[in-house]
Amino acid sequence: MPQVFDVILSGGALVNQDGEGARDVGLRDGKIAEIGDLSRASAGETIDCRGLHILPGVIDSQVHFREPGASHKEDLESGSRGAVLGGVVGVFDMPNTNPLTTGEAELADKVARATGRMHCDFAFWVGGTHENASDLSELERLPGAAGVKVFMGSSTGSLLIADDAGIADVLSHTRRRAAFHSEDEDRLNLRKSLRIAGDPSSHPVWRDVETAVRSTRRLMNIAREKGALVHVLHVTTEEEIALLAEHKDIASVEVTPHHLTMDASDYARIGTLAQMNPPVREARHREALWRGVAQGVVDVLGSDHAPHTLEEKAKPYPNSPSGMTGVQTLVPLLLDHVNAGRLTLQRFVDLTSAGPARLFGIAGKGRVAVGYDADLTIVDMKRRETIRNSWIASRVGWTPYDGKEVVGWPIGTFVRGAKIMWDGELVTPSSGAPMRFWSAL
């Protein structure tokens, strides 16, 4: 008897653990059921993917969807709508909401808000604090928890552990890989006078290279002393790439699309729309991040999607908040870099699918393999598009890449076998569910 599937993706170029090649993919009951020649099989729906690439579903392990507490600029529904429109099947949302995600009740509330309402699958980082450090080994294993996130330098929100003793206390209690925003708070406070009113180009002068390097060096020393695994978020400096290359046994590295795409000259072009923490820096740092990608020092890409309204961003620096949209533009920006020869499509897959699954122990995701969740990002590597504000689903409605032409575009997003997005349209109602992690099964 012929095989029967719910969906067959036919004729596409599949990129998975075998490399890249023309293979059909059969989906059944939300899982990858068969890979190969399915020309004799039948399905409820057969999708012609000739000319397209089928990738493991892209996972964005750093977003700020602002709910609860700041839903005037984003919420879980709108943020996840942008995610799937951009080809992203799953996200890890950050804890600096209001209330902060620092306890079991706050985490459960977020999971309840997200389930069946988000368009993609999800997990939530739990904020590490001085007060909850002793509880983290239990909190990090709760359903829907991505792990523990710590701010060593102040950014958006009030989460902060600036002292070495506090970091050591957190790492004494974590068993999963803990994530860190690594900037030295003491140096940030000492250098505030270097901010120039109305001049966002002074942002990387204030939050300078040494602010990042000093913090990351402290973190490496503490993590090694405690025998803990750490994940350094949004690395921005040449010096940190060199430092972290010496600590790959305990430290993983994230870089962002904006730090790979922009440099300090963009402040003159778009002003505070380029303002982020840690900041966009001089071009030498961007090129060092690309070397880190090429050399394998960098483990994952995260968008650090952190929206603010245009009215908020229009405040004169330094009263303007740091953050920009990014989850929806992650895939097209990086496909454009692939087409420009800066990385291979296989390396893109490793940074956005296999990498997050490997680092954080995500169960059943990150590969196109039989038995795994049918999470797929389908792309047209030749499609030329111009990114526009009008395409952005975020409630703030803008992107720093408005007007940028890219080559390579997300065509389809499948989450657990459901076709959520196809050719720019949402085609299935939201059905997001918590990701599962090996450490908590």
CB atoms within 10 A of CB 431: 17
* Helix/strand/coil for 173: helix
Alpha-carbon distance of 259 to 263, in angstroms, equals: 7
Q: Which of 330, 292, 250, 309 has the alpha carbon at shortest distance from 88?
A: 330
Q: Which of 407, 436, 434, 419 has the alpha carbon at shortest distance from 84?
A: 419
Alpha-carbon torsion (388, 390, 394, 397), positive or negative: positive
Alpha-carbon distance of 394 to 385, in angstroms, equals: 19
* Helix/strand/coil for 11: coil
Q: Structure tokens of 102?
A: 């620092």
* Cα distances (Å, whole numbers) of residue 434 to 11, 245, 269, 377: 31, 33, 39, 19
Catalytic residue numbers? 304
* Cα distances (Å, whole numbers) of residue 12 to 23, 24, 47, 340: 6, 7, 10, 22
Alpha-carbon distance of 310 to 307, in angstroms, equals: 9
The set of residues, in sequence order, having a beta carbon less than 8 Å from that of 186 and lying 6+ positions away, is: 162
Alpha-carbon torsion (240, 227, 218, 184), positive or negative: positive
31-36/24-28 β-pairing: antiparallel
Residues 399/329, Cβ–Cβ less than 8 Å: yes
CB atoms within 10 A of CB 37: 11
What is the rounded end-to-end Cα distance, in angstroms, of the chain?
36
SS (H, E, C) 69-122: CCCCCCCHHHHHHHHHHCCEEEEEECCCCCCCCCCHHHHHHHHHHHCCCCCCEE
Spell 78-98 as b/e; 16+ CB within 10 A means b.
Answer: bbbbbbbbbbbbbbbbbbbbe
